[in-house]
Structure 1
Amino acid sequence: MASTVISIPNGDVVALKQKKFQFSFRSFVSLFKEKIQKRSSDDTKKLIHSIKVGIALVLVSLLYLLNPLYKKAGENAMWAIMTVVVVFEFFAGATLSKGINRGIGTILGGSLGCMAAVFAQEVGGVGNVGNAVIVGTSVFIFGAAATHFRMVPSIKKRYDYGVMIFLLTFNLVVVSGLRATGVMELARERLSTIGMGFGVSIFTSLLIFPMWASDEFHYSTASKFENLASAIEGCLEEYFKVVSEKENQPSASFKSCKLVLHSKSKDESLANFARWEPWHGKFGFSHPWDKYQEIGEVLRELAATIISLKGCLQSPRQASSTLRQSIKEPCEAVGSSLAWTLRELGDSIMEMRRCLPKALILPKLQSTRQEIGLVISPSKLATIEGGEGLAISSFVFLLKEMVEKVGELAKEVEELGELAEFPDKMLAGGHYNENSSINLCCT
């Protein structure tokens, strides 16, 4: 078995390895604590939401439990309870969205249904064939039109529930007018009880420990940068391990990348709910949530590129350990630069401060591109025999792709800072110093 002798002129290399080990161990401990705290926070939020739903149901049930309220609401009080059960959601924005959609759909559907029912009674008479023909025609016209509007993407995205409630309410009101009198009074009573249920839901959701979708969307977007930065560091560490180390240690985890890759539907829902929420904290009515979604798209592309490295890590035809060690130093410098940049971008979003990529980050990425170009030259690649050249080229190509994606992220984050009018970060004073950040990242 061949052995490689490495001369160590002084103890700097050993100290550096010990420092890296301590740094990774501390990172593991901090990540573990963060996950425990996050799980505890999520469980607390779920418990608070459950209690809030119970409070809302008790309040709306008073329409049945108290005789004075029951005499005014009557059997229609059931509609208030149904409204709370259907409308109350985890996030305040979701409750507002469903509540407003339900209210508008109920008002429009009930109004048009009453008009159609009264028109049918006046023209065709109660219980006559003409009345049934008019009602059936109106049901067909409004039902087909509402269903067509539900398939329009812009309406389906934000108002699908309201159109569905409109269709349901219209049919209930206009069809009940065939056999019943006093349709207007019936619609008024049901609308009032639905409004009571909506009021109780909004009161409980917004005033008792509100759960804001905007906060969740903001923090989840910022945390993705840290997750991808850790994944890049883990991939590079795994790739440059020697064979004996790989056998004794677990392989790099791509779980965080997969979570980012599959976050599109969640981001769309949170962005939609955030648009409905009132002004609170640092988020106004015109906060650029669309830009958050654009940043999420680039993050998912970056996550897909990182997952592509899985083939380089697990392929039996990967380059030899000696060849990989020859490019270890420049590749680790590139990975450290990418991780530092991602963390800076994530911190700027989390703290809602501009990171000035034109002044600092983009030039650093430009130098990173030049470093990648020097990792393996075409002349050196031509001397590599077999499939090792292709394997090492694939790895370097994926590094280049990650640099390009991080550059796109820097531009998107800068545009977000301009649209949201984030204040500038301090370029001096210790918090945001280029030299100290780079030195910390590379040590």
Structure 2
Amino acid sequence: MASQAPENANNYSASRGMQWLRALPGILWDIVARSGRRSAKIAKDDPRRITHSLKVGLALTVVSSFFFLRRLYYSFGDNAIWAVMTVVVVMEFSVGATLGKGLNRMLATLLGGFLGVGVQQLATLSGGKEQPILIGLFLYIIAALITFMRFVPEVKARYDYGLTIFILTFSLVSVAGYRDNQILNLAFKRLLTIILGSFIAIIICVFFFPVWSGDDLHNLLATNLEKLGNFLEGFGNQDFETKSMRSFAEEYESVLTSKTREETLANFARWEPGHGQIRFRHPWRKYLELGNLTRQCAYKVEALDVYLWSLIQTRNEIGIKIKDSCQSASLECGKALKILASSVKSITCLPSTTTKARIAKAKGSIELVHSLLRSKPYWEGVELVEIVPAAAVTSLLSDIVICTERIIEAVDELSSSAHFKSTVLSAAVTTTTSKPLPLTREGIVKPALESHELHYRAITINNDGYPSTLTKECGSFSSIKAIRQ
């Protein structure tokens, strides 16, 4: 009996092994299918990733000609491998990142190589015994100084990679020059191949389906404003009762964690040349200021989210009045933020009268809630548990209205600094001739035109239900009248 147990165990193990082997093709197919679906999702989320992969392959194919063509290989020799390495290291997803790395690598290699050769030549003049001491001393001082510079935030943000390459190049040239007398020729060839590799990467990245970090930052800020607007507008439209709270929370949660990405995109965008309506010295700092204000508003929205459900569940008469006023204020703030998002996304200056009118309505609704909260007779017999959410929502909405006003000012400053284009949705241009103004007698008012004729241009701008009529006389706006339909 005892001898049958191991035999049964071996048979069981063999059967399990056979089952696993038969199931192996299905397991491998499932792994391949999951990988394919994941890859398809990554490509679908951002098709630019596919073009970037193709651009990297093209750059490596071009730079490999340093080995395939005899004349180029005889000119550079084995140093041609540095061009391949440079393309692999420098080629990044966006134009700004590639330019930043490429220029940092070229300049750092140039300065580090020349300084290393200079230190090596200076140490050679001192004699045989003092030469390693001087090289070690210079290496210690320069490495310590450059490493300390990397801790400066402004320098680290833009030149950290260049400083690292500078230390590496200087160390290789100065130390290797102690044993190799041909170090100058070697350094020159490596510098030339690195420059050529950087230029190949930059040219392909800029001229073949370029990805601009400035455009990504621009669209990111507009999307964040739109997300906050959607959340506030959803509360104002009572969509909370039909959607889950989690789906609304997703509208603003991504805004809270966008600081690092915004700063990275702004750093890369500073390296990019002017393109489209984005100029060379674009006010990227204004974008960061707008992003900070948007996150401050998102933090208020996150705190507001805690009390909304309690306020929505209220059923007493005063609570319903407060809820309606709060929803009105939230709706106006949400629409104002979506108008600002549209302005930033389209790089256009929209009339500020629309957003200011909505903020004025939101303030009126908040003031109505404050008056209800100060009226003690209304709250007789109402439990404190029902008062606290109403008071908290009112206070947070007041802060959100203030944040929205600041965002409006930031967008106005950005549009002025970045020279956003003016929007005229419908325009009628008419030129007429009229009699001289009644006060154009001599000594009172001089005529604007020598012919005593007044030419004017009437421009009507319709936007979100707020038509505005601008009348231009003799090159200056004489009246601005806004009528709400």
- TM (norm. structure 2) is 0.76
Matched, 1:365 2:359: yes
Give how far 1:266 is off.
Answer: 0.6
- When residues 146 and 410 of structure 1 are mapped into structure 2, their CA distance, relative to the original with a 3 A threshold, is same
Q: Deviations over 1:84-138 (max 9, x none)?
A: 111100001110001001111111111100000111122133xxx3111011001
Question: Does the 8 Å CA contact 2:43/2:50 hold for their aligned counterparts?
Answer: no
Choose between structure 1 and 2: higher strand proportion: 2
How far apart in 2 are the matches of 1:198 and 1:140?
29
Give how far 1:75 is off.
Answer: 1.0
In the other structure, the counterpart of 1:56 is: 59
How far apart in 1 are the matches of 2:230 and 2:467?
20
Instruction: Pick one of 278, 284, 308 that aligns with 2:279.
Output: 284
In the other structure, the counterpart of 2:74 is: 71
Give how far 1:364 is off.
Answer: 3.3
Residue identity matched to 1:77? A
* 1:254 partner SS: helix
In the other structure, the counterpart of 1:212 is: 212
How far apart in 2 are the matches of 1:391 and 1:308?
11
- When residues 251 and 102 of structure 1 are mapped into structure 2, their CA distance, relative to the original with a 3 A threshold, is closer
What are the within-5 Å matches in structure 2 for residues 23-42 of structure 1?
42=45
What are the within-5 Å matches in structure 2 for residues 277-356 of structure 1?
277-313=272-308, 320-322=314-316, 324-356=319-351
What are the within-5 Å matches in structure 2 for residues 37-436 of structure 1?
42-125=45-128, 129-236=129-236, 241=241, 251-313=246-308, 320-322=314-316, 324-357=319-352, 359-375=353-369, 376-380=372-376, 382-383=379-380, 384-426=382-424, 431-435=462-466
Give how far 1:251 is off.
Answer: 4.8
- When residues 431 and 57 of structure 1 are mapped into structure 2, their CA distance, relative to the original with a 3 A threshold, is farther
Give how far 1:237 is off.
Answer: 5.3
Q: Deviations over 1:253-277 (max 9, x none)?
A: 2123111111111111111111111
Residue identity matched to 1:204? I
Give how far 1:433 is off.
Answer: 4.4
Question: Does the 8 Å CA contact 1:89/1:95 hold for their aligned counterparts?
Answer: yes
Give how far 1:41 is off.
Answer: 6.0
- When residues 181 and 203 of structure 1 are mapped into structure 2, their CA distance, relative to the original with a 3 A threshold, is same
- When residues 39 and 299 of structure 1 are mapped into structure 2, their CA distance, relative to the original with a 3 A threshold, is farther
- When residues 227 and 39 of structure 1 are mapped into structure 2, their CA distance, relative to the original with a 3 A threshold, is farther
Q: What is the percentage of aligned positions where both structures have the same residue?
A: 36
In the other structure, the counterpart of 1:26 is: none
Matched length: 391
How far apart in 2 are the matches of 1:382 and 1:124?
95
Question: Does the 8 Å CA contact 1:238/1:313 hold for their aligned counterparts?
Answer: no
Q: Deviations over 1:44-79 (max 9, x none)?
A: 200000000000011111112222211111111111
Q: Deviations over 1:281-300 (max 9, x none)?
A: 11111211110110000111
Q: Which runs of 5+ in 1 are unaligned?
A: 1-37, 438-443
Choose between structure 1 and 2: higher helix proportion: 1
Give how far 1:40 is off.
Answer: 6.2
Give how far 1:306 is off.
Answer: 1.0
Larger radius of gyration: 2
Give how far 1:425 is off.
Answer: 2.9
Moved more, 136-145 or 158-167: 158-167
Residue identity matched to 2:71? P
How far apart in 2 are the matches of 1:284 and 1:305?
34
- When residues 43 and 240 of structure 1 are mapped into structure 2, their CA distance, relative to the original with a 3 A threshold, is closer
Moved more, 157-166 or 381-390: 381-390
Higher relative contact order (CA 8 A, sep 6+): 1
Question: Does the 8 Å CA contact 1:353/1:417 hold for their aligned counterparts?
Answer: yes
Question: Does the 8 Å CA contact 1:239/1:313 hold for their aligned counterparts?
Answer: no
Q: Which runs of 5+ in 2 are unaligned?
A: 1-40, 427-459, 469-485
- When residues 240 and 284 of structure 1 are mapped into structure 2, their CA distance, relative to the original with a 3 A threshold, is closer
In the other structure, the counterpart of 2:9 is: none
- When residues 132 and 192 of structure 1 are mapped into structure 2, their CA distance, relative to the original with a 3 A threshold, is same
- When residues 194 and 159 of structure 1 are mapped into structure 2, their CA distance, relative to the original with a 3 A threshold, is same
- When residues 290 and 50 of structure 1 are mapped into structure 2, their CA distance, relative to the original with a 3 A threshold, is same
Residue identity matched to 1:421? H
In the other structure, the counterpart of 1:4 is: none
- When residues 189 and 40 of structure 1 are mapped into structure 2, their CA distance, relative to the original with a 3 A threshold, is closer
How far apart in 1 are the matches of 2:397 and 2:423?
29
